[in-house]
Amino acid sequence: MVKAYLRYEQARAFGVVASPEAPPVYDDTGKHLVTAALERLAVWDVRRGVEAKSLLPPPRESGALPAVTRIARAEGSDLVAAGHSDGTIRLWSLDDASTDVLLKGHRSEVTALRFNASGSMLVSGGKDTNVVVWDVVAETGLCRLRGHKDQVTDAVFAEAEATAGGGAPSAGSSGVRLVTCSKDATVKVWDLDTQHCAQTVAALGAECWSMDVDPTGRRLAVGTSDDRLHLFAVNRGYDDGEEEFGDGSSDLSDDDETPKKKTARADENGARVPMTQAQKAASIADASNLLTPVGHVPRSDKSRVSHVRFDRAGGGLLGVQTVGRAIEVWRVRSASEKAKRLKRKHKRRREKEKLRAKERNGEEDAETAWDKDAEPGEGLTAADELELATVVRPKAKARGFAWAPRQRRRPGIRAVVAVLLDNNAFEEWEIGQDADGAVAEEPSKIRTIDAQGHRADIRALALSPDDGTLLTCSHKGCKVWNPEDGACLRSVEGGYGLCAAFAPGGRHAVVGTKSGALEIVDTQAGVQLSGMRDAHAGAVWGVALLPDGSGFVTASADKTVKFFEWRLMDVEDDEDEGGEGRRELGIAHVKTLQMAEDVLSVKVTPDGKLLSVSLLDNTLKVFFVDSLKFFLSLYGHRLPALCHDVSSDSQLLASGGADKNIRIWGLDFGDCHRSVFAHEDSVTSIAFVPKTHYLFSTGKDRLVKYWDADKFEPLLTLQGHHASAWCVALSTRGEFAVTGGHDRAIRVWERTDEPFFVDEEKEKRLESLLEEGGAEDDGDDDRIAAAARENASANGGVAPAGAEAGMAGRKTLETLTAADQIVDALDVAGHERKRIDDHVRTNGRNKDANEDGDDQEDEEELKKALDEFSDEEEEEDEEGAEEDDDDDAADAVVVNSASLSAYGYNPSYPSGLPPNPLLMGQSPERYALSAIEKVRAADLEQAVLALPFSSALTLLDYLGGWLEAGEKTELTCRLASLIVRLHYVQLGATHRARAVLLRLRPLLRKRAKELRDLMGFNLAGMNMWETHLKEGGGGTKKDDDEDENTANLTDELIKDEDAPGLPGWG
C-alpha cells in the first residue's frame, strides 16, 4: 500500500523590513512607505513604525515566489507596480491590497519600472536588454523595444513638445517619447508612435545607471559609473529652454521664424487617425531632436551612481545616490539666478574679446572690432543650473531613496527623504531651509525603522519548550519573537551568535558566539545575564542540551567539547553596593573532552547514553556520555559534516556535510544505511521531527527539504528562501518548523491536514523543470533581431521593422495552455455546428418526401397549442393571476418545440437533436467565444500566435458571427487585427480566406464606429455632469434651489424625445 504523508506549507514569513534590491516609494499622503520585503510588498506606517499592510502574491503551483526587484507608483493613484526577479510584473491596489493583473514580458529580472504621468502606461526594462511598454488600462502589452546591448537600468517617459505657449506635437503624433538608459553606455529615445529608436546618445563614456526628468519636463539628468552627472535639455537646446527649466516660462514669440507644430490629426469624434508614412517620418524626426546635451557637473562622491530622482513636491531638489553611503542633494537654480549667471558669463566673454581685439587692432579700433565680431555668447551649462546643496550620510550603505510628498513638510523644512539601507532598515531625513529659502547644510535624521528585523543574516534559532517563544541570533545580538504572528517582542544586544538553546522552563537561553563566549539571555526581560566570556578559545559551533536538564554540551573550533551545568549565581548590583544582591541563572564548567580536530557540531542522544560530534577531518565520532570513552567512528563524508542530529528513539543519526550529501547511520553498529545526494550546495542544518524518522534539512541552495529516513527519499521540497538557509528548528510535536537564512527572513512551515503521495510530488517537480526549460527558446526572437541589427549596422543599411519592435508578451506554459484550450473549443464548436446543420438538412429531405400530411397536422396542433398558451398568458397577466401554471405550460411547449433531453435544454439545437453537455446550454459560437474570454488579456497575443493557421482561419470565420450579433466588439476587433497581422502572407495565398475577409471588413468598421460613438456619448454626458456639479456645488445658501434645478435638468434629459435613440442611452 502506498504511504501518504501530511504536507508542510509556508504559513508566514517575517523579519524583513526592506529588501535592498528595490528603492521604496511613498503613497499620495506620505503617511505610508512601500518597501520590497523579498517576495512581498510591505506598507509601513512611517510615524508609528509598524507594518500597516503586507501585500503577498498568491502562491504558485511550483517554485518559490520571485523576489521584488523594482517598485513604481502611478502619480495620484493607489496603483503600485512591482517587478520581480523572474521577469513578471504585478499590479497592486494599496487601498484594498488586491492584485488582479500579472504581466509577463521579460525572461529575466526586471531592472527598470516607471509609469507615465497619467498612470495609463507602464514601461519596464530587464536584464534581457528588452524594453516593454504596457497598457495598464487594457492590461496588455503594447510593444517590445529592442536595441540595447546590455541590461536596461532605467526608463522614463518624456513629452515630445511641452511649450508653455500651448504648442502641440507634430501631425499624427501622440507626443509621448520614451527615454531609456543601459549599461551599454547609451541613452536611447524611442518614438512610441512608430516604435522606432529615434535618437541614441553614446558620448557619455561610462555605464548609465539611472536617470530622471524634472517635474517641468525640460531637463533630463543621467547618472553614470564615473564621477560625472550629465544634464540634457528635453525638446530643445539651452537657447530655448534655459529659462523654462527654472519657472516654466517661454521666451518664444509669435514672430519666431520656427514654424509652429500642427496638432495631431483627428476625426470629428476626437479619435486619432492612423499615421501616414510622411507623418511617421515627421514623428521620428521630432523624436530624434528630443535630447540636447547641456553639460555635466563633477560629483563629490567618486563611486558610481545607483539612483537619480527629482523632488516632484516642488522643492527644486535633485537626489543622486551612489553605491556608497552618500546621497548627494543638488539644488536646481531658479530662473533669476540662472539669468544672473548667464549675464555675468556674457560680460566676462565680452571683456575677453575686447582685450583680444585691443591687442590685435589697437586701442582705438577695439570697440569697433568687438561690435563687428560680436557673438551671442556661451549658454548655460549644467554647472550653472545645478549646485550641490547638502549630502545625506546614513550609517550603513544606501540602496535607494524616495522623496516624500508635499503633505509631509513642516514649516522650515525643504524636503523629506526616506533612505533605504543595506542592513534591512530604512531612515527618514529632513532637509531644512533658512529664512531666505537656502538649503540647510546638514540634514537631520528624524526616525529609523529597524526593530522588526536583524541587521545581518540569521545564523541560529531556537524554540522554547512550549513553542511560544522563538529566539534568533545574528551579527550583533539576538531577538525574541512570537512565532504565531511574527511580532518582535524584544531585542538583546550581544555577540555574533552561531548556536542557541533554551534552558528548562523556557525563560532563559544560552547563545554560543563567534568569539567563544557563552551568553545567557533572559527572554522575558530582554536582558543579557552574566554568562561566560572565556568559555572557549574559538568559535562555538554547537550547543546540545542534556536530556536530564542539568546542563548542556558545547562544541568549539578550539578542538574541545565542554560540559556545563546550570547554577544560580550571586550577583551584586552596582547601584546597591551595600545590599544583599540578587541571584540569577548562570553556568559552571564541569569537564572537557579534548579532540584532535575542530568540532563542528555536537548532539546528545535522547536516552542520555551517547555523545556524537562531527570533526573537521570528515568524520563523526561517538562517545559514552558518562565515561567519555570512544564508541564509534563514522567514516564516509568526502568533506566535513557541518551538522547532524539524532532521532528521538536514539536509533538513527543523520549527518549533512559540505559534500552536499546526507548520510543515515545506525547507532547500534555505526553502519551507514544510505548516502543521499540532498542539496545542490552544502547542507547547513538537520533536525529530526520528534518521535518520527522524518527529518528536515536546509542548504546553501536556498531549499528546505523534508525526508523520510526509513525510505531514504525526499518527500517535499519547500522553496521560499532567496538566499542560503542556515538553520532549522522543530516544535515539540512537529506541528511546525522554523527556518532562517542569509536573506534575513524567518519562515514558519506548518503541517496541514492535506495528504500527499511521493509519486505525485515527483511528477510536480518534473513539470516544474519542464516549465523552466520551456522558456529557453523564448529568446530566439531577440537573438534573430540582434543579428539583423548587427548585420544592418555592418552593411550601413536600415534594420528591418521587427529588429527594433516586437510583441510585448512572451511564451509561457500558460499561453500554450490557453492556445490548446482555444483549439479544443473551436473543434467542439465546429463539430456541433456540423451536427446541427446535418440534422436540419436530413429533416428537410424527410419532410419533402413525406406526402401523408402528418407533419402538417402536427405543426397545426403545435401552433394551436402555442396560440392558446399565449392567449392564456395575456389574460393571466391582465388579471394578475399566479405564474406557476404558466411555467408548467411553457415547459410543455418547450418540450414540443425544441430539444429537451437528459442533458438539459439548449435553444440553439433543433427539435430531436440532443445537445452536447460540454456546451453548458450555449450555442457552438458562444461556447467558442467564452473559451477566448477566459484567456487573460496579457496572454491573448501569444496564445493567438501559438495557434496553427487552420485554427486561426476558423477563428477568423467565427468573428463574423460575433460581430453580427454585436458581442464583445472590442475583443473581436483585437482578434481580427492580431490574426491578419500574424498570418498576413498565408491569408493572401488562401482562396477560402478572401470571402471571410470581405465579410469581416464592413462589420469591423460598423461595430467599431458604434462602440466609438457609444463611448463618445457617455464621455460627453459625464463631462456635462461634471461641469454641472462644479457650477452648482459650493455649499451656499441656495442648496435647495440647486437641487431643484438639478432635478429639473434630469427630467428634461429623460423627457427628451431624441434621447432613447442616441447610442448608449439607458
Amino acid at 734: G
Percentages helix, strand, coil for the chain (3-state, rounded to 5) are 30, 35, 35
In order of 272, 932, 998, the CA distances from 975 in angstroms are: 20, 10, 16
Confidence of residue 897 (pLDDT cuts 50, 70, 90): very low
100/345 Cα distance (integer angstroms): 57
pLDDT at res. 348:
84
pLDDT at res. 247:
42
Q: How many helices (H) and strands (E) does the chain have?
A: 18, 59
pLDDT tens per residue across span 412-425: 899 999 999 999 99
Q: How does strand 527-532 pair with strand 518-522?
A: antiparallel
How many Cβ atoms are within 10 Å of 719's Cβ, its own excluded? Answer: 17
pLDDT tens per residue across span 916-954: 888 888 888 888 888 888 888 888 888 888 889 888 888
228-242, 472-486, 891-905: segment of lowest average pLDDT: 891-905
479/783 Cα distance (integer angstroms): 50
> Cell numbers at residue 423, please?
542592513
- The whole-number average pLDDT for the span 525-539 is 92
pLDDT tens per residue across span 319-348: 999 998 899 999 999 888 888 888 888 888
- pLDDT higher than 90, residue 430: yes
169-178, 871-880, 915-924: segment of lowest average pLDDT: 871-880
Amino acid at 289: N
pLDDT tens per residue across span 245-293: 554 333 333 333 333 344 444 454 444 556 666 666 666 666 678 889 9
> Cell numbers at residue 894, please?
418547450
- For residue 640, the SS3 value is coil
- pLDDT higher than 70, residue 875: no
pLDDT at res. 365:
55
- pLDDT higher than 70, residue 870: no
Q: Higher-confidence residue: 684 or 807?
A: 684
- pLDDT higher than 60, residue 893: no
513-517, 564-568, 933-937: segment of lowest average pLDDT: 933-937
- pLDDT higher than 50, residue 828: yes
HSE-CB of 29 using CA atoms within 13 angstroms: 10
- pLDDT higher than 80, residue 240: no
pTM: 0.80
Max mean pLDDT among 110-114, 257-261, 1020-1024 falls in 110-114
Confidence of residue 230 (pLDDT cuts 50, 70, 90): very high
Q: Indicate the Cα dihedral angle 384, 388, 389, 392, nearest 10°.
A: 160
Q: Indicate the Cα dihedral angle 1027, 1031, 1035, 1037, nearest 10°.
A: -140
pLDDT at res. 324:
87
Average pLDDT of the chain to the nearest whole number: 82
Amino acid at 571: V
Q: Could you give phi then psi for residue 80, rounded to 5 degrees?
A: -125, 135
In order of 716, 953, 980, the CA distances from 994 in angstroms are: 56, 11, 12
- The whole-number average pLDDT for the span 343-364 is 79
- pLDDT higher than 70, residue 167: no
682/678 Cα distance (integer angstroms): 9
pLDDT tens per residue across span 574-631: 555 555 668 889 999 999 999 999 999 999 999 999 999 999 999 999 999 999 999 9
Share of the chain above pLDDT 90, in %: 51
DSSP string, 557-573: TTSEEEEEEEEEEEE--
User: What is the residue whose three cell numbers read 517620418?
Assistant: 281
- pLDDT higher than 80, residue 804: no
771/470 Cα distance (integer angstroms): 37
533/516 Cα distance (integer angstroms): 7
Alpha helix (H) ranges present in 628-750?
Answer: none
748/487 Cα distance (integer angstroms): 13
pLDDT at res. 881:
43
**Spacing of C-alpha 283 from chain mean position:** 33
Structural contact between residues 502 and 465, judged by C-beta atoms closer than 8 angstroms? yes
376-385, 438-447, 468-477, 785-794: segment of lowest average pLDDT: 785-794
